[in-house]
């Protein structure tokens, strides 16, 4: 079952990376793209279509990164690109309200009724930052509680024990974050409700909010333990602490209504991004009316953005959500994901490679460890060196995975059965070399 993939040319990518390092820190505009944790040099992408990426050297890859999640309809989906072109023809930014913003806000509210009012912004990081600001304004408290390995963007007070790129680079915190900021952020292990109970007992009068990824996707994919989210909801409600779901990745990915619909949990505030922009920069936060009504111009909590509600991003998001509402979309994604996960698991077992798999909908994780992965500490037990070898074996066979053990893999609606079969065959070949 060994695939005979041709040796890929990387001359142009290598040259561009050399040039980029002279002009851009590390040669990349987001750290994980640099391939530091897996070794080697990044491939520079020229174009993408459907389930494939094409680099500057003419190589083709089946893509399971999907721009880190938002391309759920695949790259350059015709209806989405058409919506973007139509919007661009009318102007790219107005700095004034549009009907499109109202349409997208309504669609988000209908999908997630907990978001009674919605504010659009330009990134997930901005959305999280703003949600925490209004949570502090509402409770008149300063301290927040987050979970180790959960990544909520790169704002100063959220870089304590974060996942994603920080996990990849082995950086527990970031230089440049004042100690005064960090002292307002408490951290506990993910899935550890007893630790949360202890923190609440000790800091109840200081805690403005608890923020988490309801499905942790920035330490790999780590699902919530049974009753963890429900217990967290009860605990926060009983102590007048706001619960914030960061659904930047899980929103519209694991279900149309996100993880909160999947698990039947109603947070006070929700943060979105990725999919609601259809591949363009966007974010949103929203929640209970009495909280959101504190935001300017109605209330005293200030937040603004020149490009918020950008017509191109909003148009792409509207069209993407329209397509996701079509009957059977998530059922088909589930079937494809089940098949891919089973195939990878069977390949690892056949090769005698220890592998712990996780999956929620079309988000998949695979850790090179034999033990269960339930939090940041157990995810770190994964053999990252072995993952790096696996990554490059797959890359050479034309399968593009995340250049980090601590990231999710994603499926799109346009990954075909043939694509999945090829990927499984590639894993058989890759595992034999480990």
Contact status, residue 250 vs residue 259, Cβ threshold 8 Å: yes
Dihedral over Cα of 401, 322, 414, 348: its sign:
positive
The count of other CB atoms within 10 Å of the CB of residue 175 is 6
Contact status, residue 275 vs residue 320, Cβ threshold 8 Å: yes
User: Which residue matches tokens 């480990």?
Assistant: 434
- How far is Cα 122 from Cα 308, in angstroms, rounded to an integer? 5
Q: What is the CA radius of gyration of the chain?
A: 21
One of 161, 274, 336, 380 is an active-site residue; which one? 274
One of 55, 63, 64, 151 is an active-site residue; which one? 151
Residue 181 to residues 170, 185, 200, 210, 428, Cα–Cα distance (Å): 21, 7, 20, 16, 47
- How far is Cα 215 from Cα 213, in angstroms, rounded to an integer? 5
- Which residues have C-beta within 8 Å of that of residue 36, sequence separation ≥ 6? 26, 168, 169
Known catalytic membership, residue 151: yes
* Phi/psi-derived region of residue 153, left when phi > 0, alpha when psi is between -120 and 50, beta in every other case: left
Residue 73 to residues 299, 335, 408, 429, Cα–Cα distance (Å): 38, 16, 17, 28
- How far is Cα 188 from Cα 146, in angstroms, rounded to an integer? 7
Contact status, residue 358 vs residue 222, Cβ threshold 8 Å: yes
One of 55, 246, 375, 419 is an active-site residue; which one? 246
Known catalytic membership, residue 156: no
DSSP 212-242: E-SSB-SSS-BPPPTTHHHHHHHHHHHTT-E
- Which residues have C-beta within 8 Å of that of residue 238, sequence separation ≥ 6? none
Known catalytic membership, residue 274: yes
> What are 213's two structure tokens?
């990824």
- How far is Cα 197 from Cα 236, in angstroms, rounded to an integer? 9
Alpha-helix residue ranges (DSSP H) falling in 142-239:
164-169, 179-182, 193-203, 228-238
**Nearest CA to 72 among 261, 376, 316, 311?**
316
Just list the catalytic residues.
151, 246, 274
């Amino acid at each position: 079952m060994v695939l005979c993939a041709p040796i890929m040319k990387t001359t142009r990518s290598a040259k561009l990376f050399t040039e980029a390092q002279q002009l851009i820190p590390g040669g990349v505009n987001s750290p994980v793209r640099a391939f530091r944790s897996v070794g080697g040099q990044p491939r520079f992408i020229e174009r993408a279509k459907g389930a494939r990426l094409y680099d500057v050297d003419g190589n083709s890859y089946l893509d399971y990164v999907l721009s880190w999640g938002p391309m759920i309809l695949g790259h350059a989906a015709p209806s989405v690109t058409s919506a973007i072109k139509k919007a661009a023809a009318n102007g790219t930014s107005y700095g004034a309200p549009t009907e499109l913003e109202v349409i997208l806000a309504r669609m988000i509210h209908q999908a997630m009724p907990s978001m009674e009012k919605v504010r659009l912004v330009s990134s997930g990081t901005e959305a999280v930052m703003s949600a925490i600001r209004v949570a502090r304004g509402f409770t008149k408290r300063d301290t927040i509680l987050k979970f180790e390995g959960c990544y909520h963007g790169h704002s100063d007070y959220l870089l304590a024990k974060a996942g994603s790129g920080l996990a990849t680079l082995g950086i527990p915190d970031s230089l440049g974050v004042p100690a005064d900021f960090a002292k307002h952020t408490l951290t506990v292990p993910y899935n550890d409700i007893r630790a949360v109970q202890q923190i609440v007992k000790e800091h109840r009068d200081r805690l403005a909010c608890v923020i988490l990824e309801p499905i942790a996707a920035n330490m790999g994919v780590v699902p919530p333990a049974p009753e963890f989210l429900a217990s967290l909801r009860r605990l926060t409600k009983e102590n007048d602490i706001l619960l914030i779901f960061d659904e930047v990745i899980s929103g519209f990915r694991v279900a149309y209504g996100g993880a909160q619909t999947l698990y039947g949990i109603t947070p006070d505030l929700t943060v979105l991004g990725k999919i609601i922009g259809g591949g363009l920069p966007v974010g949103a936060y929203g929640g209970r009316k009495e909280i959101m009504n504190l935001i300017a111009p109605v209330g005293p909590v200030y937040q603004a953005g020149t490009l918020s509600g950008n017509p191109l991003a909003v148009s792409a998001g509207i069209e993407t959500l329209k397509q996701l509402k079509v009957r059977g979309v998530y059922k088909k994604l589930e079937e494809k994901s089940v098949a891919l996960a089973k195939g990878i698991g069977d390949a690892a077992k056949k090769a005698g490679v220890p592998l712990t798999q996780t999956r929620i909908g079309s988000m998949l994780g695979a850790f090179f460890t034999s033990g269960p992965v339930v939090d940041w500490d157990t995810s770190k037990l994964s053999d990252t060196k072995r993952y790096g070898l696996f990554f490059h074996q797959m890359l050479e066979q034309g399968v593009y995975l995340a250049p980090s053990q601590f990231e999710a893999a994603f499926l799109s609606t346009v990954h075909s059965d043939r694509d999945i079969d090829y990927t499984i065959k590639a894993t058989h070949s890759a595992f034999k070399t480990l």
